[in-house]
Structure 1
Amino acid sequence: ILAGAAFGLSGSLFQTVTRNPLGSPDVLGLAAGAGAGVAVVSLFATGLPAPIGALAGAGVAIGLVAIATGSGFSSTSRVIIAGIAVAAMATAVTQFVVTATLRDEAGRLAAYLVGSLNARDLGHAGLIGMALLVALPLLIALNPRLQLMELGDELATSLGGNATTTRTWAIVVSLMLAAMAVAVAGPIAFIALMSPHAARMLARSSGPNLLASALIGAVLMVLADLSVQQVPVLDGLPVGIITAGFGGVFLGYLLLREFRKGQA
């Protein structure tokens, strides 16, 4: 529940400040970086838990994106381009480790890389719960500024919500939440992408809808987890496979909708 809420909040923040309906923290290479971190830890530090590797890998990926843009997270276009490049490099690292040195452990590692809730305990819940508590005051402070961002950068700044500062802080909080969720549950795909869209549809509002996004992210995660527990044909599958399947269909719907808007 907490990891799903964190993914939902992360996606809402990211889409609001980038004004990209197809955006999510995955665009910045966070999930790919987390996967590479797990692979490297499995190779060089087998005693460390996989979440530590995921968190370290995600942190390195975010740092590389910030350095590569030359301006931190203030420029949306630079962030996305740098994120694609970092994701490609991280994926290459993961594939090298899996194919060249971890053949016997590839199955176990693959399950973590798609995202799984298996063998999670209260320690993992406490970790993501702490991240949400730390993020809460920041989210409360950011919410009015995010509402202003819907009016455009110039108008938002003129009304007291510095657009550049707001964008930077929103992306930082978004990445922090996503990184912690990935650390405890693996890089579960598409929750961060789907939740803000579902929240906007239900609330019939184009704003950030932070609370609704968090609740929908939690519900989507729980539904995916229940499906792999209760549906015989899905028994034992990692949760990330379910969210990737439904998320791929949802992404196709979004792309088709954007294409139709462009044709109108």
Structure 2
Amino acid sequence: MAVGVLLVSGILAGGLATLAWGPLGVTAPDLFAAARGEAGTKAMFVLERLRGPRLLVGIGAGLAFGLAGALFQTVTRNPLGSPDVIGLGSGAGAGVALGTLLAPGLVPAPVGAVLGAGVAITLVYVSTGLGFTSPARVIITGIGVNAMALAVTQYVVAVALRDASSQLAGYLVGTLNSRSLDQALFIAVALLVLIPPVAVLSHDLRMMDLGDQLADALGGSAHRTRTWAIVLVALLAAAAVAVAGPIAFVALAAPHIARRLAGAPGPHLILSALVGALIIVLADFTVQHVGPVENLPVGVITAGVGGIYLGYLLITTWRRADA
């Protein structure tokens, strides 16, 4: 409980700093005035059109990525696993890219992302030959699907959409630039729809930490739980990618940080979601207000820091294996 309160406090503090910092900053009195509907034109423009939507989208996407990462690592029992590994982020990005290529202006990003993630997870399911029963096969086939999705995206960006490629390339790195209240509403609705089934699965997820055989013996179905969990991972990742692009490493790092903060094993779904939101809020503050990286896509920050963190995880995992 205490860790959760600290994380929520960190998200609120980071969000307020993002809104208040700089020449366009919205002061605390302006925020209270906006809550009463009495804020000035400048403050309302910043809150409704500039910083407010990107903050809400960032928090929502972070919650979705963190929750998806915790689900995936739990059901595959792979501490280095994430939706990115099995091509969900890349598949969603490829869906957006193909939608832009084949039907420019007609296929909304959320639709393309969901379709792309759906195709990716279907390919993984079929290619394993065993559905989602074997975590090792899911990850191995997912790596292949991820490579194919990246190839499709690179083709669209490099060859087919020369004129629009710069904007699309920024989205495919992961960005919160030019977000809208409609996108904030989309990710909020997606979370409201997807969190209840995750909560229903949470009991069986805790049993899966004991292994498939013990989970089955205790009344849970490891195969059913894994299948539904991966479907929810796909939907959560697609929703996040739809509004913010495939922001790298959040889904991988958030569950690890949550377990370290909790000091105990387990899925820690709520903490993982909150850590994911905090990571993106802090990364977005950095790209808005820190000179050397100002105006870069937020995914550049998470990829850089996440790459270092992944190296740390690999080294610690190898050391434990050799001990």
Q: State the TM-score bracket (shorter-chain normalisation).
A: over 0.9
2: CA distance, partners of 1:164 / 1:44: 37
TM-score of the two chains, using structure 2 as the length reference: 0.79
- State the AA in 2 paired with 1:179: A
Residue 207 of structure 1 and its aligned partner are, at CA, apart by 0.2
Q: Deviations over 1:16-73 (max 9, x none)?
A: 1111010001111112112222221222111133333222222211121122223322
Report whether the alignment pairs 1:18 with 2:76. yes
Residue 204 of structure 1 and its aligned partner are, at CA, apart by 0.6
SS in 2 for 1:104: coil
2: CA distance, partners of 1:41 / 1:140: 33
Structure 1 residue runs of 5 or longer lacking an equivalent are: none
Report whether the alignment pairs 1:168 with 2:227. yes
Report whether the alignment pairs 1:91 with 2:91. no
- Aligned position for 1:224: 283
- Aligned position for 1:9: 67
Report whether the alignment pairs 1:235 with 2:294. yes
1:1-264 to 2 correspondences below 5 Å: 1-47=59-105, 48-264=107-323
2: CA distance, partners of 1:87 / 1:136: 26
CA contact (8 A) 2:93 2:241 kept: no
Residue 11 of structure 1 and its aligned partner are, at CA, apart by 0.2
SS in 1 for 2:164: helix
SS in 2 for 1:164: helix
Residue 173 of structure 1 and its aligned partner are, at CA, apart by 1.1
1: CA distance, partners of 2:68 / 2:213: 24
2: CA distance, partners of 1:189 / 1:23: 13
- State the AA in 2 paired with 1:250: Y
Q: Deviations over 1:227-256 (max 9, x none)?
A: 111101111100111100110000000000
Range 121-130 or range 44-53, more displaced: 44-53
Q: Deviations over 1:150-175 (max 9, x none)?
A: 11111111111111111111111112
> Quick one: percent identity of the two aligned structures?
61
Range 216-225 or range 54-63, more displaced: 54-63
2: CA distance, partners of 1:252 / 1:108: 30
Structure 2 residue runs of 5 or longer lacking an equivalent are: 1-58
SS in 1 for 2:85: helix
1: CA distance, partners of 2:97 / 2:235: 21
Cα RMSD (Å)? 1.2
2: CA distance, partners of 1:109 / 1:2: 21
SS in 1 for 2:288: helix
Q: Deviations over 1:118-168 (max 9, x none)?
A: 111121111111121112221221111111111111111111111111111
